Amino acid sequence: MTEPGKTQGTEPATAPATAHGGTATGAEPAPRKAIIQTLTGRVVGDKMNKTVTVLVERRVQHPIYGKFVTRSSKYHAHDENNEYKVGDLVEIVACRKLAKTKAYKVSRLIEKSRVV
């Protein structure tokens, strides 16, 4: 039987934490893997030096009507060698702020633009 006002099974599942961030048993916590935000989009502007503008489109369902709507956002991404051109499909990854509006780097080229 338990005491009044106390519930059964409320003990913490892990050892209590110490001041330096470890556990009281001395075992180090498992290292956390960083979650890197990646987006895929089409280059719509390459007029700036070492920067491209990438249009990222996503499809979301309308909360009331249920129809799928295309939402888009533009991001400035760092292009070190000015190698990506308008129409290229690229993958960008989040990084530290490189400029006032630039916080992404182009990680890889997915598809080269077709000449029409």
For 30-84, the pLDDT digits (tens) are 787 777 899 999 999 999 999 999 999 999 999 999 999 999 999 999 999 999 9
pTM of this prediction?
0.68
HSE of 8, CA atoms in CB hemisphere, 13 A: 2
Q: Are 49 and 58 in contact (CB under 8 A)?
A: no
Q: Are 10 and 2 in contact (CB under 8 A)?
A: no
Q: Let me know if residue 71 belongs to a domain.
A: yes
pLDDT of residue 59: 96
Rounded CA-CA distance 38/67 in Å is: 26
Q: Let me know if residue 25 belongs to a domain.
A: no
pLDDT of residue 78: 96
Q: Let me know if residue 23 belongs to a domain.
A: no
Q: What is the CATH number of the domain that holds 43?
A: 2.40.50.140
Rounded CA-CA distance 76/100 in Å is: 10
**DSSP 8-class letter at 94:** E
Q: Let me know if residue 16 belongs to a domain.
A: no
- Could you tell me the residue range of the domain that residue 81 belongs to? 38-111
Q: Let me know if residue 105 belongs to a domain.
A: yes
